[in-house]
Every structure is written in C-alpha cells, then in structure tokens.
Amino acid sequence: MIRPSDDFSARLRAAQKSLPSLPAPSVEAQALSAELSARLVAAMAAGGSLPFWRYMDMALYEPGLGYYSAGCRKLGEAGDFVTAPELSPLFSRTLARAIQPILADVECGEILEVGAGSGVMAAEILAQLAADNALPAQYRILELSAELRQRQQQTINQRVPELAARVHWCDSLEKKFSGVILANELLDALPAHRFVVRGGIARELCVAHRDDHFVWQAGERDNERVISRVQQIEQENDSRLAEGYISEILFAAEDWVKTAAKSLTSGMMLLLDYGQARSVYYHAQRNQGSLSCHYRHRMHEDPFYYPGLQDITAHVDFTAIADAALDAGLNVAGYTTQAHFLLGSGITDWLAGETDPLSLLEYSSQIKKLTLPQEMGETFKVMGLVKNCNTSLPGFMLQDMRDRL
Ligand SMILES: C[S@@+](CC[C@H](N)C(=O)[O-])C[C@H]1O[C@@H](n2cnc3c(N)ncnc32)[C@H](O)[C@@H]1O
C-alpha cells in the first residue's frame, strides 16, 4: 500500500477542514448512513480498502441505503440539487420539440429515458408530444432506483394521467430499440475512477477506513486500464500530468454507452450532462479533478461526508464518450453546449406565445439559468450519437463543437 505523501494528506485535510457548515441530518438519516458505512467497511475487510469507484457505487446505489436507492428526497427544491428539468418545464418541452424529427424519421420510433429522476421530464415531454400530435406508441423508462421508479409513477399519474398507459418501465436495456434514447445527468451519476499521479505513474485512488473515518489512499496495485488511459491523455495533450495531479475517468459511463449502442438499431442517443472535451477536462490547471458532492443545495468536495445522504458526481470527458460510441458503431451527429442546443431548438419561442406577464418573467428567468454561460449554459453539453439515422437536429446547428473532441 502506498501511503499518501505528506503534501497530498495535508491538502486533503485542508480541503476537509474547509467544508462549509452543513445542516445536520436527522437522527434516522444518520442511522441509515451509519448502516451504509458499516457495509462499506465490511466490503473493505478483504483488501483493506476499496477502489473509489466501488465506494461511490455503494454510496449511491447500495440497495435500500445508497443515496439514489434510499428514500431521501434528492432532486428539486426540497432535496439536494436541482436539474434542468426540475428547474423549468421549458427544458423538457424544448427537448420534446427537438426529438420529433427523429421520431418521425425512424420506423416505429419510441423514446427510452434512462435515469428519469422524479419523472418530471417524462411527464413534460409526453404532454408536449401529445399537444403536437407526435406521441410515440411507448415511452419507456429505465431506472435503477426502485424508490425513484415509484416517484416517477406518481409524477406521471398526477401530471399526465391520460398518457400514463403509454409509459413502461423496463429492468434493462432492450435487445433492440429504435427511436431516441434520452439521458439527462445520467453519466455524471455513474461511479467514477479517480487517480493521482505519483512518481510519474497514475495510481488509482482508493478509500480506506482509519480511526473511524474514511480516508483516501493511493492504490498499491497498478490498474492497467487507468495507467493506459492516463498515458493516452498525456500523448493526446502532448504534455505529462504533473506530480500530485488528481482527476477522474468515467469508465462506467463509457461502458454504459457501449452497451446502449448495442441496443440501438436506428435512431439517436441524446446525452445531456456536465463535462468537457478531453483537452479541457485534463488541463494542467484542473489538477484536483471535478468530483463534487451535493447536500441540501450546498456543493462541496468531501465524498466521505455522511455516505448515502449526499449526491456524488464527476464531470464527463466527452472525448471518451465519443470514442466509446465510435468503437460501438455509432456516429457523433452533434456536440455542443446546452445553451446552443436549447437556443437552436427554439427555447425562446415559448416566450412569444406567453401573454401573462408574471409567467413571462418566470420563463425568462428560467431560460437565463438554462443558457447563460455562468449558469448551466456552458458547463452542460449535449451530444447526439446516431445509428442508421441521418436526421439533423437544429439544436446542433448553431454551434458545432465536434472538432474540439
Ligand atoms: C442525477 S440523477 C438525474 C435525474 C434526471 N434525469 C434529471 O435530470 O432530473 C441520475 C439518475 O440516474 C439514475 N441511474 C443511475 N444509474 C443508472 C443506471 N445504470 N440505469 C438507469 N438509471 C440509472 C438514478 O437513479 C437517477 O434517477
């Protein structure tokens, strides 16, 4: 086992000390977190530590205890963070308009939403497609969390009861699917590998348990997949990552795209997430990676704070996603910022039809949050991956960033 260097430990201790004061969880929530922590420690027993991706996987998805699997509120104002569809119905309505050309072009095209959160995006998309007379025969949802699946059923029954019969939940990706696979903020919620450069070599970061605390530890054994990816990054960026450089690699997201690609027979996979092209993602100045945690609308960097009670995410390396897609037989039909995608897909058109001044004000403010660079407009990107589909989407025409991948 390689011990973290003094410098590395001091930096992490400093980061932990500088945690903003966070509201204390309820006694019941603390008990759930303690149970999950015990399970994490038990999982470490064999090797003395867990690779970080495995820690993150359990912290988010351990049945009954993980952040997404247990009953806490998660999304929305009353939860820990707000996603684009939670922020504004205009986001989902614009997506509904954006994907209609594909549904029309692909034979028997349907929608499959993966990781549907509260179900609000599904409800809004269905309502808009119904209004536009463009409903697919089925709207499928693939959701890992049983608790969220229940919430999605409630949302759809409440908001669009007349369309509920078209919604079907599946347990895995279909063998064959044609139409649109939609995923908003799915990839960033998949377990991330984390590494530190030590002695010129990328070491996978692991999690151990000492003196009643989870602590970082650089892995003892070489992880060949991590090492070879870091070598690839260094070659492509034409510079070595500095000693102590920390970042993430989302192998799980790449693997997910490859699996989903097998299922797609014709149509588009539309991925919306926060992330960058590789040259930016692994820029020398981004030397602490992008791992972040969300707890009651506070963002911080300590994934060991009350495991199971907070969200943990990392940005997406969209170059890696494009490579995975190409390997799996897909083409990259578009890559742009969320702002350009939404503006190109006509999000401001909704303002023209609005006569109520208060709604107009509210919608304008929501569009600003979705599109301004300092809000969600630039950090969030949209990538369209296609198979047997030549339909071009106006959302990708305002700004084509594929050459930056
Ligand atoms: C950050 S939330 C985003 C929710 C929603 N798309 C939104 O934008 O509000 C991530 C979602 O992905 C789900 N999820 C994570 N891994 C998944 C997987 N492998 N298959 C299906 N759903 C998954 C989570 O349970 C959760 O619903």
Going from the Cα of 185 to the center of ligand 1, the distance in angstroms, rounded, reads: 7
pLDDT tens figures, 117-135: 999 999 999 999 999 999 9
Q: In the chain, what percentage of residues exceed pLDDT 90?
A: 83
Q: What does the pLDDT average to over 358-363? A: 96
Which pair of tokens denotes residue 204?
Answer: 């996978």
- Whether pLDDT at 5 is above 60: no
What pairs with residue 246 in β-bridges? 196, 288
Give the span between the Cα atoms of 175 and 306, in whole angstroms: 38
User: Can you state the angle between helices 120-131 and 89-105, rounded to 10 degrees?
Assistant: 60
- Cβ count near 364 (within 10 Å): 13
Which pair of tokens denotes residue 226?
Answer: 């991590």
Give the span between the Cα atoms of 274 and 97, in whole angstroms: 22
| Predicted pLDDT of residue 3 | 33
| Predicted pLDDT of residue 330 | 98
Going from the Cα of 354 to the center of ligand 1, the distance in angstroms, rounded, reads: 32
Most ligand 1 atoms within 8 A of CB, residue of 81, 83, 143, 184 to mutate: 143
What pairs with residue 127 in β-bridges? none
Which residue is listed with tokens 């590395």? 8
Going from the Cα of 114 to the center of ligand 1, the distance in angstroms, rounded, reads: 7
| Predicted pLDDT of residue 74 | 66
Most ligand 1 atoms within 8 A of CB, residue of 80, 95, 111, 144 to mutate: 144
Choice among 1-10, 172-181, 201-210 with the minimum mean pLDDT: 1-10
Ligand 1 atom with least separation from CA of 68:
25
Q: How confident is the model at residue 302 (pLDDT cuts 50, 70, 90)?
A: very high
| Predicted pLDDT of residue 19 | 57
- Whether pLDDT at 380 is above 90: yes
At the second CATH level, the architecture of 84-184+260-278+315-404 is: 3-Layer(aba) Sandwich (3.40)
Q: What does the pLDDT average to over 166-185? A: 96
CB 141 within 8 A of CB 116: yes
- Whether pLDDT at 83 is above 70: yes
Which residue is listed with tokens 């009651």? 296
| Predicted pLDDT of residue 15 | 45
Which pair of tokens denotes residue 338?
Answer: 């969320």
CATH 3.40.50.12710 domain residues, the chain: 84-184+260-278+315-404
Q: Is 262 exposed, middle or buried (0-12, 13-18, 19+ CB in 10 A)?
A: middle
Q: What does the pLDDT average to over 41-52? A: 90
- Whether pLDDT at 18 is above 50: no
Going from the Cα of 117 to the center of ligand 1, the distance in angstroms, rounded, reads: 6
Going from the Cα of 199 to the center of ligand 1, the distance in angstroms, rounded, reads: 37
Ligand 1 atom with least separation from CA of 84:
8
pLDDT tens figures, 252-272: 999 999 999 999 999 999 999
pLDDT tens figures, 68-79: 988 666 677 667
- Whether pLDDT at 12 is above 90: no
Residues with CB under 6 A from ligand 1: 68, 75, 83, 85-86, 114-117, 142-145, 148, 184-186, 189-190
Q: How many residues does the chain have?
A: 405
| Predicted pLDDT of residue 73 | 62
Q: What is the mean pLDDT of the chain?
A: 92
Q: What does the pLDDT average to over 294-302? A: 88
Q: In the chain, what percentage of residues exceed pLDDT 70?
A: 93
What is this structure's pTM? 0.93
